[in-house]
Amino acid sequence: MGATGPVHEALAALPLVDHHCHGVVTADLDRDGFESLLTEGEPWPGISPFDTPAGVAVRRHCAPLLDLPRHAAADAYLARRAELGVREVNRRFLAAAGTEVFCVDTGYTPHPITTPGELAETADGTAYEVVRLESVAEAVAAEGIEPDAYATAFRTAAEEAVRRSGAVAVKSVAAYRTGFDLDPARPADALVTEAARLWMAEGGRLADPVLIRHLLWTAVDLGLPLQIHTGFGDNDIRLHRVDPTHLTDWLHLSKGTIPVLLLHCWPYQRQAAYLAAVFEQVYLDVGLTLHHVGPARSRAILAEALEITPFRKLLYSSDAYGLAEFYRLGALAFRQGLGDLLQDRVDADELSLPDALRIAAWTAGDNARRLYGLPATEPAPSPAPPAAPAPAPESRQPRD
């Protein structure tokens, strides 16, 4: 931890492409509000979410950006955060993240959060949308459509959502609804109609196995890269059912169509790596996990994720939601963890420095740019080194 070298320096200067993230809250937060966003868990009476690896990382790595000492107490942290106000806090952490491009899932909005445009403006970056397909399906159902019109209406609505937003990808949260132990085949029309009829009669969120696999196949028809939540999340997940290897049969059937991005993956990062190694269309990230484990463990998790993953198939994401701190922490944990990993291999002569720098550039952004067809880099507003649009983030961090 904390080692530095040429790879760390390169990663510090590389603007990130955060290929899966969410908005940050736009209102000031009280202690309960902040703490509930700090954890994927339920409230633990008598236990503060600050007493977690993520809480420790916030106090260590975010406090200095609010002009506080490292390891500031939670109370002092929250008081200073309130004093500065949410706009300034968001600005500081997003600037420190050093992220140039955001691919924003706009389908999860339990709190008032920034739009992609607001996020991009705050960060002085560029935002693209990611359309969450379950939200589209639920909006279609909420309009009171006939069951036999559901399939067409859903696809049309998804196409329209993509067109309207210029989305670069779609996303599924099948992990939260059924898990992946599904019949992998495209369901017949009559089956979809019957399942839609039952769902609309019962109401509630989309969680029918037939409709979920229909949704995955609709993603294939849409032709955009598909992001799939796998692994870690809140307690709505049955973790053993979201091991991404349960998608193997579907990956065989959908081969040759769309890229599939396995999001998060922890604790199944090795399983995800296996899929990325053996299926042409599979990519992965270890987002969400990185800010929860913090820099102290990001290297260990990246090392597992990279055991067999082809280097052009690992992407960066923060999966930040709500707290701008997570943009800061995700980026830091990624740069520190990957930097430590690659630099140590260079130092042991297992990897050449040029190779390490190439791998760093690929995972920090080039892999995502290639996959989503993003422009190579944002035009610099003025003569400056390549990373200029997002100022080299590490140089902004007080080191002590």
- Site residues for a copy of itself, 218-257, by CB under 8 A, read 232, 234-235, 237-240, 243, 245-246, 248-249, 251-252
Return the number of the residue (56 or 200) whose C-beta is nearest a copy of itself.
Answer: 56
Residue 227 and residue 172 in contact, taking contact as beta carbons nearer than 8 Å: yes
Distance CA 155, CA 178 (A): 20
- Which residues between 11 and 40 bind a copy of itself (CB under 8 A)? 39-40
Contact 273, 307 (CB under 8 A): yes
The residue count for binding a copy of itself (CB under 8 A) is 73
Buried b (16+ CB within 10 A) or exposed e, 384-394: eeebbbbbebb
Q: Identify which of 180, 179, 317, 318 has the alpha carbon closest to the alpha carbon of residue 236.
A: 179
149 binding a copy of itself? (CB under 8 A) = no
Task: Check residue 392 for interaction with a copy of itself (CB under 8 A).
Answer: no
Residues 48-87 that bind a copy of itself (CB under 8 A): 49, 51-54, 56-57, 60, 70-71
Compute the chain's Rg from CA coordinates: 21
Q: What share of the chain is helix, strand, coil (3-state, %, to 5)?
A: 50, 10, 35
Q: How far is the CB of 21 from a copy of itself (least distance, A)?
A: 19
Site string for a copy of itself, 273-292 (x = CB under 8 A): -xx-xxxx--------x--x
Say how far residue 377 (Cα) sits from the centre of its chain: 20
Applying CB under 8 A, does 382 fall inside the site for a copy of itself? no
Candidate list 107, 294, 322, 365; residue touching a copy of itself; CB under 8 A = 294
In whole angstroms, what is the distance from residue 160 CA to residue 183 CA? 28
* Pick 12 or 332: Cβ nearer a copy of itself: 332
What residues numbered 295-334 form the site for a copy of itself, per CB under 8 A? 295-297, 300-301, 303, 306-313
When asked if residue 209 is in the footprint of a copy of itself (CB under 8 A), the reply is no
Are 81 and 66 spatial neighbours (Cβ–Cβ below 8 Å)? Answer: yes
Q: Closest approach of Cβ 306 to a copy of itself, in Å?
A: 7
| Residues 332-361 interacting with a copy of itself (rule: CB under 8 A) | 344-345, 348-352, 355
**Closest among 282, 288, 247 to 265, alpha carbons compared:** 288
Measured from the CB of residue 251, what is the shortest distance to a copy of itself in angstroms?
Answer: 8
Q: Pick between residue 161 and residue 314 the one whose CB is nearest to a copy of itself.
A: 314
Nearest alpha carbon to residue 37 among 54, 20, 61: 54
| Minimum distance, C-beta of residue 39 to a copy of itself, in the bound complex (Å) | 7
Q: What angle do CA 256, 260, 261 make, to 5 degrees?
A: 155
Distance CA 277, CA 258 (A): 16
**183 makes contact with a copy of itself (CB under 8 A):** no
To a copy of itself, the closest distance from the beta carbon of 135 in angstroms equals 22
As a whole number of angstroms, the distance between CA 93 and CA 65 comes to 7
Tell the smallest beta-carbon distance from residue 268 to a copy of itself (Å): 9
Instruction: Return the residue of 293, 302, 331, 368 that touches a copy of itself, per CB under 8 A.
Output: 293
